[in-house]
């Protein structure tokens, strides 16, 4: 008979396997969820969301940075930036619909006269949107938010496309990304297992180019929640102005993972090469994870899927439960007292 840990790990395995099909399902939800309200031109966008629900905003923000002509910022707290007003669009992403920081932020946004669009599975966020006549896109909410990334990222791109802030053609890239992941499935599993072996027993540090920070954060979150390990991340070029000096104290206890989307700025590529050389003088455990694909979306999702699997395989190696997040559940309970 399977133990509780084995049952949960089987459950997590199925959720990660479902990622490519989730992209297809998310596109169908987008197709069936046109925005119904009339929207004016906006001066800025603020995306509110925490944890597994919020990371999609960081990733999508990078994807559309070269297309959108107004600022897109992120709120991962109870309070909104002071500049939010009636010319602001707030997109609230909460898988459960009950994330208290996000609910606090949209309440403040409503009072400031901002337009609000919800992305959730129901809960208080859906009720809020119904009460005040805001658009709300409903996504599946049965599983842990970190396993439903496909739904949040597709709906975010869908919202920007519906508002003519980016091209609707951007949505087509998700189908291509799905095919890429499916085609390279065997390779993805092989690399993910190698990555789990590489990390096991060491302190993980993740580096990416600044435009790929969302992928690095997602990686950290997955190793935190699935593998139950602490790790850190930083970006190039910023880390070259501070953390690189810290490597004078580096040792072999660190495993360093570079995320390479193979489309680096020419100067940052020089910085990457220099950083790798410098760090290799302090630890033998340096690995570069290279992406496949022709677009930002393809390359990002390819890396994300490898990392999802690696975080699962690392949990298996450590014989721990990849699903449970008891400490977060306990925190939420304590906040109600």
pLDDT of residue 175: 98
- Cα-trace Rg, the chain: 20
Confidence of residue 328 (pLDDT cuts 50, 70, 90): confident
In this structure, what DSSP letter does residue 284 have? Answer: S
Question: What mean pLDDT, rounded, does the chain reach?
Answer: 97
- What does each C-alpha distance from 57 to 62, 67, 102, 183 come to in angstroms? 9, 15, 13, 27
Residue 240: both structure tokens together: 């070259």
Give the dihedral sign, CA 76/79/81/83.
positive
Question: What is 184-318's CATH number, 3.40.50.300, 3.90.420.10, 1.10.8.50, 3.40.50.10490?
Answer: 3.40.50.10490
Please state, in angstroms and rounded to a whole number, the distance separating the CA atoms of residues 65 and 54. Answer: 17
Instruction: Assess whether pLDDT exceeds 80 at residue 239.
Output: yes
pLDDT of residue 304: 98
Please state, in angstroms and rounded to a whole number, the distance separating the CA atoms of residues 332 and 337. Answer: 9
Please state, in angstroms and rounded to a whole number, the distance separating the CA atoms of residues 160 and 167. Answer: 8
Known active-site residue 269: no
Domain boundaries, the chain: 4-176, 184-318
Per the residue annotation, which of 124, 225, 234, 298 is the catalytic one? 225
Known active-site residue 265: no
Confidence of residue 107 (pLDDT cuts 50, 70, 90): very high
Per the residue annotation, which of 38, 82, 241, 337 is the catalytic one? 241
pLDDT of residue 51: 93
Q: What is the pTM of this model?
A: 0.96
pLDDT of residue 16: 98
Known active-site residue 110: no
Q: Do domains 4-176 and 184-318 have the same CATH topology?
A: yes
Tell me the average pLDDT across 264-285.
98
Instruction: Assess whether pLDDT exceeds 80 at residue 337.
Output: no
CATH topology (fold) of 4-176: Rossmann fold (3.40.50)
């Amino acid at each position: 008979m399977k133990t509780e840990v084995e049952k949960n790990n089987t459950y997590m395995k199925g959720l990660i396997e479902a990622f490519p099909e989730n992209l297809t399902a998310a596109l169908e939800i987008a197709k069936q969820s046109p925005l119904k309200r009339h929207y004016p031109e906006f001066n800025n966008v603020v995306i509110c969301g925490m944890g597994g629900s919020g990371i999609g905003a960081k990733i999508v923000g990078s994807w559309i940075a070269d297309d959108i002509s107004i600022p897109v910022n992120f709120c991962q707290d109870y309070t909104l930036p002071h500049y939010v007003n009636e010319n602001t669009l707030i997109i609230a992403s909460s898988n459960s619909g009950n994330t208290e920081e996000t609910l606090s932020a949209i309440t403040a946004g409503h009072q400031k006269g901002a337009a609000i669009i919800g992305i959730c599975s129901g809960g208080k966020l859906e009720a809020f949107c119904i009460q005040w006549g805001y658009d709300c896109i409903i996504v599946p909410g049965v599983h842990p938010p970190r396993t439903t990334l496909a739904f949040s990222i597709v709906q975010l791109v869908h919202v920007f496309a519906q508002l003519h802030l980016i091209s609707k053609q951007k949505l087509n890239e998700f189908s291509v990304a799905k095919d890429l992941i499916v085609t390279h499935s065997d390779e993805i599993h092989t690399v993910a297992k190698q990555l789990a072996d590489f990390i096991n027993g060491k302190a993980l540090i993740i580096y990416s180019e600044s435009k790929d920070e969302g992928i690095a954060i997602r990686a950290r979150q997955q190793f935190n929640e699935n593998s139950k390990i602490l790790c850190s991340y930083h970006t190039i070029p910023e880390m070259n102005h501070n953390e690189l000096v810290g490597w004078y104290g580096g040792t072999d206890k660190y495993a360093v993972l570079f995320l390479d989307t193979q489309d680096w700025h020419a100067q940052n590529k020089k910085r990457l090469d220099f950083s790798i050389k410098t760090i290799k003088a302090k630890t033998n455990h340096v690995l570069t994870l290279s992406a496949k694909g022709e677009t930002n979306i393809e390359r990002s999702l390819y890396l994300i899927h490898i990392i999802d699997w690696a975080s699962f395989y690392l949990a298996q190696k450590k014989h721990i439960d990849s699903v449970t997040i008891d400490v977060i559940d306990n925190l939420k309970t304590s906040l109600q007292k």
